[in-house]
Structure 1
């Protein structure tokens, strides 16, 4: 199997379904240029898992695609790579950079949620968190959602301060999909029974 963006897209097109395409179009919050192939999420995730060793330059090609499923596949591959038990810090940094350098293509709530915790949050586990505050100050709602969503991995690892601060910063965000992530982070903080 060739681990290329073109091969991945061919695999997705082979699974296209008109009913699924119509369903997805109803909930996407992406720009008008986004196209939808119509692939079930389970099939899409299974395909991404099969391609999880795809080189990052090919992942970037998927992120550049007009197809929603290509971009969801790309962030899923980033997430699968971040979970690898023998990943090095340099490899984790490369995933982090790929996500942030292509953030303009991560333009729906589920694209953020699929990768931000492990790709951004995990990388920052033992590093300064300034980038999260920069993202939280962005005029782009998806960057702000990345900022708070990335903290879910920090919360799971008993690091609560940045999640609390970012939740406070974004509590009155004008975007409902950012406020929803704030509510999720606060719920997780509550479950952790933080002091």
Structure 2
């Protein structure tokens, strides 16, 4: 059994101990040139984050504020692992607020994809977070916020009603013609899965 990690320093140490120069080269392809990279395989990073799922708030904050890609990615993984638990509606709303409050720590598309569906999409689906936040994110200048706007509704496809899926398609339509490739690709992904879901629903 993996030893639980209870401080940000322990998480950083575990990440550094798992550093691999070949992984660093791969990660460099998707982060900004000036962004520090440790070089940790994603499967290993997920395991480390799972061991840190019960980090106190101040320690999780320290991960969000750390300059290295992997430390912030591990913080968003912690949110995702928490969202997989049997939580109350209020607890789900609290996770969504952390995601939104810490969105500035997101610097890559995979941080969005890892956390947005369960951490943000789920509480919107159960109406403990107002879905107007999707419109706000879709109208943001930051393309990663716009990616969050269309990635969070992937949870609607998984667990929502046809009307919920259509709500996601409204967000997709609002992002038509977006000039950022990471937003356009996310819109295409949503539309593909949404149409598959709606077709299967109509033929059932």
The alignment's TM-score, normalised by the length of structure 2, stands at: 0.90
Contact 1:33 1:66 in 2 (8 A): no
Question: Structure 2 CA distance, aligned partners of 1:20 and 1:72?
Answer: 15
Contact 1:9 1:70 in 2 (8 A): yes
- What's the CA shift string for 1:43-98, capped at 9, x where partnerless? 0011111111122332221111111000110110000000102x122221221111
Name the structure 2 match of 1:190: 195
Pairwise CA distance, 1:2: 4.2
Question: Structure 1 CA distance, aligned partners of 2:109 and 2:5?
Answer: 30
Question: Structure 2 CA distance, aligned partners of 1:66 and 1:38?
Answer: 14
Contact 1:20 1:40 in 2 (8 A): yes
Report the count of equivalent residues.
192
- Unaligned 5+ segments in structure 1 are none
Which 10-residue stretch deviates more, 148-157 or 87-96?
87-96
Contact 2:30 2:108 in 1 (8 A): no
Name the structure 1 match of 2:60: 59
Which 10-residue stretch deviates more, 91-100 or 137-146?
91-100
Query: Which of residues 171, 174, 180 in structure 1 aligns to 2:176?
Result: 171
- What's the CA shift string for 1:12-36, capped at 9, x where partnerless? 01111112111210222x4x44200
User: Which of structure 1's runs of 4+ aligned residues deviate more than 2 A?
Assistant: none
For the pair 1:25 / 2:28, whether they are aligned, the reply is yes
